[in-house]
Amino acid sequence: MNLSTYIRKSLVVPVLITFSFVCVSSAQAQENTPRYEVGLHYAALKLADKSDKDSGFGVRFTYNLNDYLGLEAETTYFGSSREGSSGNERQALFGVRAGKHGERFGVFAKVRPGVTRFYELGNSLDPRLFARGYTRFTVDIGGVFEYYPVRNAAVRVDVGDTMVNFKTGDFFFRGFNTSFVQNRLSHNLQVNVGVAVRF
């Protein structure tokens, strides 16, 4: 047996042991991250084209595929408006959160497309000129910070750009006045603060 063959055979067992150890450690690390999360949050939205700040409450469900990637579904209702309608907006978002869970902290990026229903939105091109309530495509892009005081609970802060794709002729009712949307793609700051149960 020559020296190179001896070295190769001698390395097989340590490599297999190391590989097994890494696999077991990875599996245990994944088990440390609960698979499901159900959360409640308070949301503050600064809607640029409405020149208004809206707030509301929502719920979120997250399915963690592993320590790094999760699928999320979220809905938020922004309540009664000052214009006297039944509400301001309602969001429904679904997308991905990617980053890293630690023992106490998690930091992630998020991309979540969806829709927003605007109760005080009209459209001048609609034959029903004074009709209110339209749904527009929305994408939420931003970051997430989580703190885990215990394994099965999380405190979460989201900061993101809620981008809304308005249509030509869209305008907001503001009492007896109207305010036309200036940009088809609107950039809006949204901050969510909430808690979640992890299991």
Mean pLDDT of the chain: 85
Interatomic CA distance for residues 28 and 101, integer angstroms: 13
Please state the rounded mean pLDDT for residues 155-172: 96
- 15 and 86 fall within a common domain: no
- Give yes or no for residue 62 having a pLDDT over 90: yes
Please state the rounded mean pLDDT for residues 21-38: 63
- Give yes or no for residue 18 having a pLDDT over 50: no
- 122 and 144 fall within a common domain: yes
Most confident of 23-32, 85-94, 142-151, 167-176: 142-151
- Give yes or no for residue 82 having a pLDDT over 60: no
Residue 45 CB burial class (10 angstroms; 0-12, 13-18, ≥19): buried
Q: Give me the pLDDT at residue 12, please.
A: 52
- 108 and 190 fall within a common domain: yes
- 6 and 82 fall within a common domain: no
Interatomic CA distance for residues 154 and 150, integer angstroms: 8
- 170 and 148 fall within a common domain: yes
Interatomic CA distance for residues 56 and 112, integer angstroms: 19
- Give yes or no for residue 35 having a pLDDT over 70: yes
- 3 and 58 fall within a common domain: no
- 148 and 75 fall within a common domain: yes
- 2 and 20 fall within a common domain: yes
Domain, as residue range, for 5: 1-32
Q: What is the DSSP letter of 68?
A: S
Structure confidence at residue 43 as a pLDDT band (50, 70, 90): very high
Q: Give me the pLDDT at residue 50, please.
A: 79
Cα-based angle 164, 166, 170 (whole degrees, multiple of 5): 140
Interatomic CA distance for residues 111 and 93, integer angstroms: 9
- As separate numbers, helices (DSSP H) first and strands (DSSP E) second, the chain gives 1, 11
- 134 and 55 fall within a common domain: yes
Q: Give me the pLDDT at residue 183, please.
A: 81
Segment 46-55, tens digit of pLDDT: 988 877 789 9
Domain with residue 116: its CATH number is: 2.40.160.20
- Give yes or no for residue 72 having a pLDDT over 50: yes
- 38 and 28 fall within a common domain: no
- Give yes or no for residue 167 having a pLDDT over 90: yes
- 3 and 98 fall within a common domain: no
Tokens of 155: 């405190």
- 66 and 22 fall within a common domain: no
Contact 119, 85 (CB under 8 A): yes
Segment 94-148, tens digit of pLDDT: 999 999 989 999 999 999 999 999 999 999 999 887 898 999 999 999 999 999 9
The pTM score is 0.79
| Total domain count, the chain | 2
